[in-house]
Structure 1
């Protein structure tokens, strides 16, 4: 996967230079042909082969195919095996506190970095050459609480965006099966067998198809962005990339060290492939299978604990998304002429924390939910809309790194909670 990532980055940069050369030489038709053959999004288009698009989308679709059944079966079975309801309560409490602690730390770090960038004048960029785009309508972040309990079970199982509802249904199902014990045999056996089938399917998709898919996904992502989009966004992209990388490499290592007294280096080394996978797919949901395998088999977290924490974290633990939204909101406010104060940054942080909880685990969702934060702050003048349009135009590479941060945060919390509950194999961790 690391080789595929490096190859994809190299190929993507070469295609960027090729694009700029051909467009500069007046050979737009040549680039258009290359784009139609390799990179064209064939949705709604009757032209083009879109070879790289098709290969990448097939891989993502294969992973998303099993998200709902995997989350449901793994959590339901975990609930069946946790016989101590007090233990379940403790795990839930510690998980939420772990998510909250890392989120607050991430938001504070992003706020400080964004404020420094604003004061240094880094965010004072010209955005007049960007075409305005209509943003999504604001959405009350508290709706995520209401949607956690579905009013239609079929609707919950047929939409990948309803993961929190699936978590609720799985917990209820598992607890009921545990309560009725021997009276429920067939359903439990079906869950076990379905979970085994999912494991085999995911193992094949990730190990056999994964490296090829990562290469084409990375190559296409970088190839479709021209220099004309990247130049005005260097201030935003640079600051948010620095923030995400520092927190990814150092922040979680400090969290592991302080909370568990474990050497964080084995965690950083073993979780690297999960971060790479998240970076390639730009989807926390698609990365969940590999994250689960790595957390259980290599980091030593008990499978029952991992099966509860990781799907829940995929839904509500969005540290990377929160960091991106804070810095993006400060960038937009600064570019659009709004006053940026410490008090306003704290408000942005609170809105970003709430909004990130309701962010779907899918590519591009963070930039869309960002509009909720902007609406809450009142950043809606013409210049703010233009700056928001700029972020929508170039945010995919940033969202890739955001996903890495999100999935690594879930694994870090799983290690911390498992260690505190005695559900942790230290020998496997250091192996």
Structure 2
């Protein structure tokens, strides 16, 4: 009951921070447009340098960037917790399972559920993208004022398989981006401890104590600093955008936003009703603050600690299930990212003169499925990995590169929204698997 009350208080604080951040952010957009249009560029530059400027950017040596610093300190504090939390929680989840068949069932059900939801997301995105394409909404992009931005070199999506098994134990634990390698190491250590049983009781006790320390640090960071950081992150994000960036790709933005909202409010409740035979209302209500947190940070990794806390304490999922499914989902379950990448690929193809056929959409969907698995749980990663899909499809003419540059320029708000989908998807899978394994406390879930 106490955790539920704390969760409601935190949710209220986050909603207030969200509303204030959006209002202030849009106010900054209006101020920015007014000052630039009236020739007061230097005044806006001063305001931007004091509050919003990325102080690590080239030429920003004299900037203060108050909102940037506050936001980054908070995100860094959360990312600091990610590796030890993922490693310790998975090791503990596995080493206490006495039935290895049960462990196999949990793993297979988790991966199967991830696969089903992602395939459904890809089909859904393909249908939406196809409808908008045939309506002629994805017209050629006006490249007059678009500066080409650096993307990434196209790589084979299957290279993600090579990163699962690291060649150095210590270096794997120092890389926030290599979560699959951390999961592999944690599973390996957990299985070894499970096999040795009593011989590893001292190490097991150490992991339990480390888990307690991580929980205390996590609660402090989230409860004390999250609302302030969310306000700063949102305000800065919207303050940095001008109307000129958004207008050329308005059809793309509207299409993706509608698709993401539709999938969030329709698909996940259906999954819970069909796969877990549960009322989705308590889930959606309790996950609201996690979705808001994901929207604010635009990072599944940064949202993982709060997601796990909410899933275990407020949704009644066994810590064993949550400790395994959530870190794994953060890496390979990217429903929102997959939707964005499919619609973005169709937009780039249509706006740069390529024909979009059923076959090409099917190939885009397969590439998006593979690429989304390898998408790092960090801000902006989805749009960067999109380049892999475009090169795989051969969408590489000048118009395609300009369209891709436009997506990179305006995709931050969309990345924020799709992160909300990704983290809600991870939690829904945890609930579904826990229900199937009779490891869901339904009293807590419905409270």
Is the TM value for this pair above 0.5?
A: yes
TM-score range, shorter chain: over 0.9
Q: Name the counterpart of 2:434.
A: 418
Deviation at 1:125, TM superposition (A): 4.0
Conserved 8 A contact 1:318-1:406: yes
Among 28, 35, 60, the alignment partner of 1:22 is: 35
Q: CA deviation at 1:46?
A: 0.6
1:39 aligns with 2:46: no
Q: Aligned-pair distance for 1:21?
A: 0.3
Question: Does residue 71 of the first structure (1) align with residue 72 of the second (2)?
Answer: no
Residues of 1 paired with 2:308 and 2:109: CA distance?
19
SS of aligned partner of 2:403: helix
Instruction: Please report the TM-score for the alignment, with normalisation by the length of structure 1.
Output: 0.99
1:324-335 matches, cutoff 5 A: 324-335=340-351
TM-aligned CA deviation for residue 4 of structure 1: 0.4
1:356 to 372, 375, 390: 372
TM-score by length of 2: 0.95
Q: Distance in 2 between matches of 1:429 and 1:281?
A: 26
Q: CA RMSD in A?
A: 0.8
- What's the counterpart of residue 352 of structure 2? 336
Shift of 1:173: 0.7
SS in 1 for 2:25: helix
Q: Is the 8 A contact 2:141 2:352 kept in 1?
A: no
Structure 1 counterpart SS, 2:178: helix
Q: Which of 282, 300, 303 is equivalent to 1:284?
A: 300
Is residue 127–residue 386 contact of structure 1 (8 Å, CA) maintained in 2?
Answer: no
Deviation sequence 1:126-147 (CA, Å, 0-9, x none):
3312122343111111111111
The runs of at least 4 consecutive aligned structure 1 residues that moved more than 3 Å come to none
2:27 equivalent to 1:6: no
Q: Deviations over 1:368-413 (max 9, x none)?
A: 0000000110000000000000000011110000100000000000
1:174 and 2:187 correspond: no
Aligned to 2:361: 345
Give distance in 2, aligned partners of 1:293 and 1:94: 22
Q: Confirm or deny: 8 A CA contact 2:21 2:230 kept in the other structure.
A: yes
Q: How many residues are matched?
A: 431
Q: Specify which of 203, 212, 221 is matched with residue 205 of structure 1.
A: 221
Q: Is the 8 A contact 1:125 1:232 kept in 2?
A: no
CA deviation profile, 1:129-172 (whole Å, cap 9, x unmatched): 21223431111111111111111111101110111101011111
Q: What is the CA–CA distance in structure 2 between the aligned matches of 1:128 and 1:399, rounded to whole Å?
A: 23
Gaps of 5+ in 1: none
Match of 2:70 in 1: 55
Could you tell me which runs of 5 or more consecutive residues in structure 2 were left unpaired when the two chains were aligned: 1-13
Q: 1:135·1:385 contact (CA, 8 Å) conserved in 2?
A: no
Deviations 1:154-194 (A, max 9, x none): 11011101111010111111111111111113321221111
